[in-house]
Structure formats: C-alpha cells, structure tokens
Amino acid sequence: MYHQPVLKNRRTLLERAEKFISDIYFTDCNLRGRLYGDTCPLQSLSSFLTPKRIPFSEAVTQTFQPYTVGDSFGPTWWTCWFKLSLTIPDKWRGKEVHLRWESDGEGMVWKDGEPVQGLTKEGEKTSYILTERFQDGDPHSMTFYVELACSGLFGAGQGSMIAAPDPNRKFSVQKADLVVFNHDVRELLTDFEMLVDIIKLLGEGDQRGFQALFTANEMVNLCDPANPSTFPAARNLAQKFFSQRNGESQHVVHAMGHCHIDSAWLWPYEETIRKCGRSWVTVIRLMEKNPDFIFTCSQAQQFQWVKEWYPGLFSQIRCFVQKGRFIPVGGTWVEMDGNLPSGESMVRQFLEGQNFFKAEFGNYCKEFWLPDTFGYSAQLPQMMQGCGISRFLTQKLSWNLVNTFPHNTFFWEGIDGSRVLTHFPPGNSYEMKGKVEDLVNTVKNNKDKGRANHSAALFGFGDGGGGPTQLMLDRLERVWDTDGLPKVRMSSPEGLFTALQDDSGLLCTWSGELFLELHNGTYTTQAKIKRGNRQCEVLLHDVEVSSCLAMCQNKTFSYPATKLQEMWRLLLLNQFHDVLPGSCIEMVVDDALVYYKEVESSGTRLLEEACKALVSGGQADACTAVLNTLAWERTEVVSLTEEGTAPPKLALVKVPSVGLAVIQEGVTPSCPVTITTQADGTVHMENGILRAVLDQRGCLVSLSLVNTNREAIADGCLGNQFVVFDDVPLYWDAWDVMDYHLQTRKPVLEVVKPATVMSSGGLRGSVCFSLRISGHSTITQEVILDAECPYLKFNTQVEWAESHKFLKVEFPVRVRSPNATYEIQFGHLQRPTHRNTSWDWARFEVWGHKWADLSEHGFGVAVLNDCKYGYSCHQNTLTLSLLRAPKAPDVHADMGSHQFTYALMPHMGCFQEANVIQCAYNLNFPLRLMPKAASHQQPWSAFSVSGDGVILETIKQAEAQNNALVVRLYESHGGSASVTLSTRLALREAWHCDLLERPDPKGGVAITSSGIPLDFRPFQVRSLLLLLE
C-alpha cells in the first residue's frame, strides 16, 4: 500500500500511537473504544450485608434483597454478598462473553459452591469469562454469587494509603452486566502497548526504538477500529517486529508469577485469608489457560489458611504443585521480620514452614524468600544452611535511603562463615507487570554486569494480593526473544538459581548483616507488641525445658507437643514483617495482643503443670523450689510474694544449671545492699559489686565497680538521662525515624516525685522517682540493686500520650571505642560509634536484642533490656530507644501505659569474660517458683555445659520421636571452642542433626563418662538429637 510521504517526527508519531490506544482520548474512534461490544443487563441482582466474614454455605441461606447498581453499602470491613442471575442473549453466538464487575471493594466469584475467580478493580481484574465462544450447547442461564469485602486492595486508609482506616467508608458496585469481549482488539492493543513502551524506553538514540516507532505508525495506518478484517495485517507487522531475535550473549530474565500477600498490614488477619483465596484461585484459572505459566508462593501459614477455608481450591493448588507450576517458596511459616525475632524463633519459622511444605507437597523449599522485610540478620545464612536452603531472594535493600547496595547477585556470608547464593532482582520490585520498563530496568540496574547474566522478574500485583493477570502473560509472550530487549524465559526459582550457580565464578561476597537504611523506627514502634514477643519467646522456652525435664523425671507426664505447636504458630504469625515491626493498623495490633494473651495463658498453665510434675511432696511438708531453665548456676534474689505486694518477701537462692533447688530460709548475702540518702538529696546504693549515686531526678551521677573503683559514667555527664526528640519522618510514619530527629533532643527535667528510698537494703535496695515528660506523659521508675547482682536495674512505667515524639534513655560512659557490640540471633556483631562514612552515618539507629556493649581494653559498660530492640551509640553515649508516637497507620500507636525493665552493667575486661551475655539472659528469663516441693528435695541439674562461651539455648521434644530430645547450643563469644555437654538424663544415643532435626548421616556422637564432647566454630549453632533410655 502506498502512503503519501510524511515527516517522520518522533513526537507526533509516538503520540499518534498513544492516542490510538488511549482509554481517555478519542475513545469514540480509537482502538481502545472497541474492546467491549454489546452489553446486556443482569436478569436480577440482589444482596445481603453482614458484619462478619462467613463461609459460602452460610451466606447462601441468608435473605437477599434487590440491589441497584450504584447504591452504597458498608461500612468498612463488612461483607456484602451478591446473588446474580443472568441469561446470555442468543444473538451472541460465537462471541466471547464476560461478566463485567467493577467495584471499589475486593470481590470473589462463587460458582456451584466453589470460588472461581477474584475481582479487584485495583488489581485489573474486572471481568469473569463466562464463555470464550458462546455455542448452542452452552448454558444460557446461570446463577453466581459474588462475595465483596468492604475494603480495597490496600485496606481503607483515610486520605492516603497508609493512613488509619476510615471506619465509615461506603462502597458500591459501579458496573454489573454482561458484555461481549473483543479478544482480537485486546491482542492488538497489547501489540501497540509493547511497541509504544519500546519506543519510550529505548529512546531517541536507539535504532531499535525507531523501528518500533515506524512499525506502530504503519499499524495505525493499516488498522480501522471499525473493521476487524484490517486487524490481521496490523498484527502481522507487530509479529514481524517481535520475532526479530537477540544474540546469544543477551541477558536472560527469568519471569515468575508472584503475589506477595502481607499476612496482615492495612487489613486484619481474617481479611488476608480471603485475599489468599481471591488471588490464588485466579492464578489457577490462568494456569488452566496458559500451560507454561509458573507461579511462586511463600508463607506456609497462608497455605494452611487456604486449606482450612477453601479445601477445593487447596486440592487444585496441590495438583499444580505436583506439576511444578505452583511453586511453594521460602520455607518459613510467614515472611517474618528479619531483625527482631530471636534465634530460636527464626529456627521455628523454618521448622514449621519446611515441615508443612514437606507434609503437604512432598518437598522442602530450596530457597529462602523474603522480599519485603526491613533488613536481614547476619545469622540468617547459617540458619538457611541448617534447614537445607542455600539460596536467598529479596529486593528490599533497593529501598536504602543513603547508600546504594553494590550487588544484585552475590554470595552472602554470615557471622559464622556460612554462605548462601543471593539474588536481588535488579528491577527492584516483587510486583512487576510484565512491561517493557520492567525488562529494561532489570538489565540497566544490574550491578553485576559481566559477573551474572541471569536475573529474576517477579510479576503480579502484590502486598495486598491480586497476583498476575492474563495481560501480563500476553506482554511477556510477545517479547520472549525480541531484539533490543533481554531474553525472557518463563522460569522457576530452581531455573534461576541453577543458572546463577553455574556461572558464579566471578561473584563477589558480602559479609555480615544486610542492613536496610530505612524503616529503623520499626525497632521501637508498638512497644506492647515487642514486649509480647519477647515474653512469649521466654515463656515458650521455659515451658519446653520444664516439660522435657518433667517427661524424663515423671513417667505419667505427657509432653504437650500439640499445644506447644499451636502456641508457637501464633507467636510466629505475629512475627510477620508488618506486625512485629509495628507497621500495621490498630485492628492488627489488637489481634496480635490477643494472640500473645492466648500464648501467655496457655503457656502459664503448661508451665505450672510441668513444674507440678517435677517436684514431689504434699501439703504437709510443702516448700517452695525454684526452677532455673538456663544452663549455668544462678544466685539471685527472688520475690516470694505476688507482684505488687509491698513490701515483697525476698529470698536469696542458688539454683544449679537447668535444674531446681528448694529455697532455704535465712540465707544471707556475702555483702548486703546498703542505701543511704545524703544531705544534698542524692542517694547512694552499694552491694559490694557496684556503687551507684542517683540525683533527685533519678539520673546516675556515678556508677562504679567497688573492687577497682572504676567509674562508668563520663565526666560531667549523667546516666539514665531520659530524652525526647521530635519524630516526624518524610512519609512512612510508623516505619521511619530520620537522622534529623537527633537535632531536636530535649532532656526530661521536670520532677514530679524526687528520688525516694523504697527498700532500704539487705537483699534488695530500691529508689523510686517520677518525671513529667509533658502535660500528658509521665515516667515512674524504680531503680533496684540486688545482692550479688552485677547490674543496676531500672523498672520503668511510662504513661505515654504524645504525638510524633521519640523517648530514649542515654548513658554517656567513660569508654572510648570505635565500635559498639550488639546481640543478634545466636551471636553478636559490631557497628561503628563514629560517622566517618555515609555507611556509618546511615546506622544512626540500629537494632539489637537483649544487650549492647561499649568496651575498650580492660573495661566496658553494657545496657541490658527485657523487651526493647532499638539502640544507638555515638562516640561514648549508649542509648536505648523506648517509645515512639506515630499516627499512621495506627492513630493510637503506643498510647497508654508501658512497663519495661533495662539495666546497666559496668565490667572489667571484655564483655565475654564479664558474662554480660549470661546476665542479659538472667534479666529476661526469671527463676520460676515451684510451690509444694518436698523439703528434702535436693538441688538437681539436668544439663550443664563446660566453659562460658557456649550457650545451651533450647531443650525440646524431638518432632518425630516422642522418646527423644533436641538440644540446641551456640558459640556466643565469637571464637572456636571445645566443650562438654553433661546431663543426668539416661541417654541411649546421641546424634548431630540439622535445624529440621534430620540426623547427620555420618553417624552418632560419642557419649563419654563426662558427657558429650563438642567442638564449635565462632558463632556456630549445633543441634543434637538425644535418644532417651
């Protein structure tokens, strides 16, 4: 065909093609306006509204009332069920017919009692295919149900996505009808879209971009939207362009369908169940139509939910899993936070997740999948390797605010030396759309060009679910091998990592933590969730230890394995990466706190039952014994009266390692505590180990070691100084604290009640005072010094009613060191105390667990805590972060009463020699009182470990054997160690095992007369399977 020559102006030709497919301009005559043909109203549409999320079987029995499209319903979080009756007109024979449904809520289509597809306007799913070609034998009349959640893909934020939900939002259905879908128009639109994007992305300097431009222009010339007979010629031009192939060296993009679903975030846990159903059933429909489509899916908890709520869908999923197309990934119970869970919690994430996937689908996951978590602990590589995983995928470090992470494909090395092959998809997203932009960015952003020629592209709507669409698949199908773009391969994690491993000779290694330079407010936000997490971790530890001892000592006792698994799974669920960090709405916080209470209630009962089974005796000679669940002897002051009783009845007890002892009356300390009030109002406290001086505001004027007279508080400074900062981030309110907050420091100075002696000494001395933070908030603190205790405790209660403020406590110490040390899972690491580089500066707020330490040669000071995770250390000031007050997505975040304890521990030598690690455990793991013990009960120890460097962390029943225990130990000092694990329990055999409790095939472990000899690398975690006699 001859065309009059025209000026080939890039701008006009590009805009011509854009307008030809626009859904805004010229839809009366362009191609987009022809996507839908004739329409037909539904025969009837009725609805039923309920505040509850009810099953289909219950919903269909309700009374449905007529509904008119456009009518509003709600409010937020309710559910509206619709009943649809429809008849396809006879004249639509040979046509593709869709049910078109547009609403601002998330919908699920039900047919014959089963879910068949999700409908989400924000997820580009606004129609359900009734028939691809209406024929005589097809049913004309049908009835469907649509379950519509009164919330959107991202909840119902009032004014912005992350704002607190609007509880009174109303919803409506904007369209509900039958429509003829012109599939040939969709195909041609997709051709045009991909060509237009190639023109834009390759730019004016690229020859291939101009070829795309002229191809698109010729297609417009050939195509008459009103005449479908002109479409094939236009499509042939597009196919000719797309079929021009790449060279062999071109980068390969491994495309994988994905649907990241936050287990809770801007919506509650219960809504996530439905999000999984809506998203995954849509994936199944796509798999039925697209035989090469592969989908990756993480989080065992979500599979469990679908199994319980949608058993038919779960059966379909299982079928596609067996075909290798619906691929479980990750290996954990949920996509947990990567910083705050304890080491044992992280092990249980893998144990529960991997065991679920093995039981349900026959295989363990081979890759760890954590794309949206706010940083990654340096112990994760070892934990992955211990669970049979040697590959890791994430992308979150692309969010770094200050420094650009230097790699996309590399080996990540943990603090023990374990390494895993790691990949960050260079497109910097886990929810691509299969567009040209995604492919171009994948190549352009790859920081390992020349070292790695394969990358992942995860496509599908995510966070709030939704997943892939047919349009995304169609886009990728067109450019699977098109000159000018990377090659695209529908692939799997196995395909990606195998290709990367095969060509890994030049890859670099990153050693240590993967620290996210953003979202470091999440170490502190929602303090009650943080406290619940730590307390439940401690309680479950103690229940397992006491139950194991009871099982071995009392043959009538049954280990509560089923109940413990239920409790662990609740705790693991709450460790999801928007729950434990506190970046969730108030409804989720409320649910999480209820789950913690359930764990606390059940755990307390199980602990009491185990302790009762452990001790003998009756009412006549009943004494109180004490259980120590930690693997070293402890001498401590315990309270024999309930909390809050004044004055408390105290006793000094010595309890052996992992054992129990009866409390002996009248035991006195080698050096009693003394408390004196000076004329200037200061209070002096001393216990033979520490000497402390407090002023009337409760600040530490001095804290020194008695034997050496070494002062811990810096000259001219005060310790235990509360400070408040303005805390207004750039956007992510609950997530972020910005470096500029440090410029707004304000000490808390107003005294409500000056320091007053509450307990005058002996076994315990204590001083109480109160401060006013503002007109709305106060601090009340009891400073406690116990006999024989090497640290000073601060029991704290805060009434907190602030807005965008950050409360911390500072300890300027007489120590100079370029690095501070922080406890992490099964170990510790160092971070700088200076700000020499941008990498140092970005760590102005960091995370740690039970302790942080600042030491120079020969002396140091540690801060211990029982439920806090945020720290900072600049120069010589150790700071513990206490409370924040963000207003989104929970407008009431952290408001109310808070209780927590921290402690200050000066020490000679390094923190390892001073037993800082053990003291932090002691602060967190209380000695447990056991009433009704026999007075003749002798001190008894079940386990002990020679040497101080190896911690016996876990004692539990084995997963697969009732008459076996699993014990887990780790090297805590950062050096090689040889120790002996001793036990009084009768052992038949001992085996090394991995974190999934699979025995080492090399054989058993020797059991000598003194115990089990063990060797450790620095920070190595070792698990033993102990078979009992």
Catalytically active residues, by annotation:
372
Beta carbons of 1008 and 944 less than 8 angstroms apart:
no
Cα 869 to chain centroid distance, Å, stands at 15
Beta carbons of 79 and 97 less than 8 angstroms apart:
no
Distance CA 885, CA 733 (A): 9
Residue 628's closest CA among 661, 669, 673? Answer: 661
CA dihedral 302, 307, 308, 311 (to 10 degrees): 140
Distance CA 700, CA 715 (A): 12
Provide the β-strand partners of residue 455.
253
Distance CA 179, CA 128 (A): 10
Q: Is the peptide bond before 291 cis (omega within 30 degrees of 0)?
A: no
Measured CA distances, 44 to 67, 108, 112, 393, 881 (Å): 9, 18, 18, 48, 59
Pairing outcome for strands 419-423 and 391-393: parallel
Measured CA distances, 583 to 234, 266, 399, 525, 575 (Å): 50, 9, 16, 7, 12
Burial 127-155 (b: 16+ CB within 10 A, else e): bbebeeebeeeeeeebebbbbbbbbbbbb
DSSP letter string, 833-897 = SS-SSHHHHTTSSEE-SSEEEEEETTEEEEEEESS--EEEEETTEEEEEEEE---SS-TTTT-EE
Burial 91-123 (b: 16+ CB within 10 A, else e): ebeebbbbbbbbbbbbbbbbeeeebbbbbbbeb
Q: Exposed, middle or buried: residue 599 (CB in 10 Å: 0-12, 13-18, 19+)?
A: buried
Residue 794's closest CA among 786, 779, 780, 784? Answer: 784
> Per the structure block, which two tokens stand in for 695?
């002023």
Residue 546's closest CA among 604, 601, 611? Answer: 611
In whole angstroms, how large is the CA radius of gyration of the chain? 32
Element (H or E) spanning 565, and its range?
A: helix 561-574
Cα 731 to chain centroid distance, Å, stands at 20
Distance CA 779, CA 204 (A): 64
Identify each DSSP E strand in 244-389 by its residue range: 252-258, 295-298, 326-329, 367-369
Measured CA distances, 379 to 412, 574, 1013, 1019 (Å): 11, 21, 24, 9
Distance CA 656, CA 632 (A): 7
Pairing outcome for strands 326-329 and 295-298: parallel
Beta carbons of 148 and 171 less than 8 angstroms apart:
yes
